[in-house]
Amino acid sequence: MTESEVMVATGQDAAEPGLTAPASGQRRIRRENVERILKAAELVFAEAGCAGATMTEIADRAGLPKANLHYYFRTKEDLYRAVLDNVLRMWLAPVRSIQPEADPATALAEYVVAKMRLSRTRPNASKVFANEVLHGGGQIQDFLARDLRQLLDQKAEVLDGWIAKGLMAPVDSRHFFFMIWAVTQHYADFDLQIRMVLGRKKLSRQEYERITAEVVRMVLRAAGLNAAADLMDLAGRTG
């Protein structure tokens, strides 16, 4: 599964691609139903895992009969791949802020904020990703070994550049990224644990923003950017 193959399932790979498919976008009904199915599937796959999810459950959540799912997606695995492809595409996006000419503290803070926002707004996507890596099927290995590796190499080089210029502490740039991924995704993947342990039913948006600021401070300090972290401290506590 290379990056170029990561795409929204248009459904054209199921049920005999319309050879006479009109250029004017897909049929309305197909587009709407595919979207509904993918949304329901992401939820169910996140809740139950790939093996634990059933087509019947997904169909019920989408408000469609099961046979209809098999009309748009030939097999359960096809549907799972489509969901996963969406998730992977989303995963790669927030890293853009890491650029050589950027200010390290600003860029890292922006990156963490973007990752935390993704954890809040799309926890199910993160869970599907986590589940897939956890039970390392062949599904995701190409993505990890090709696309993600290439991306990490690029961005690690940016950090190494900053370090060489003395702009941040001499961390191992790759493992520094692992730390950011681990911490930010933790708030989506382990949200049950976090809520139970904090005794909260749900984390409000305000609470989430406070947590995000805290995570940013810790990450900045881990990078040796204490001045920036302390500035945040001031802003966060007085604002």
Partner DNA sequence: GGAAAACCTGACCGTTTAGTCAAAAACGGA
Partner DNA sequence: TCCGTTTTTGACTAAACGGTCAGGTTTTCC
| Distance of closest approach, residue 77 Cβ to its own copies, in angstroms | 13
Diameter over CA atoms, the chain: 63
CB 41 within 8 A of CB 33: no
45 binds, among its own copies, DNA, none (CB under 5 to 8 A by kind): none
Binding residues (CB under 8 A) for its own copies: these are: 47-52, 127, 130-131, 133-136, 140-141, 144-145, 148-149, 152, 169-172, 174-176, 178-179, 181-183, 185-187, 189-190, 192-194, 196-199, 211, 214-215, 217-219, 221-224, 226, 233
36 binds, among DNA, its own copies, none (CB under 5 to 8 A by kind): none
Picking from 106, 41, 105, 116, the residue whose alpha carbon sits closest to that of residue 72 is 41
Q: Which of residues 53 and 83 has its CB atom nearest to DNA in the complex?
A: 53
Binding residues (CB under 7 A) for DNA: these are: 15, 18, 20-22, 24, 27-30, 33, 53-56, 64-68, 70-71, 74-77
Picking from 2, 93, 83, the residue whose alpha carbon sits closest to that of residue 41 is 83
| Distance of closest approach, residue 174 Cβ to its own copies, in angstroms | 7
CA–CA separation, 35 vs 212, rounded Å?
Answer: 30
Q: Both tokens of residue 142?
A: 């190409």
CB 139 within 8 A of CB 101: no
Q: Which of residues 18 and 170 has its CB atom nearest to DNA in the complex?
A: 18
138 binds, among its own copies, DNA, none (CB under 5 to 8 A by kind): none
CA–CA separation, 226 vs 63, rounded Å?
Answer: 52
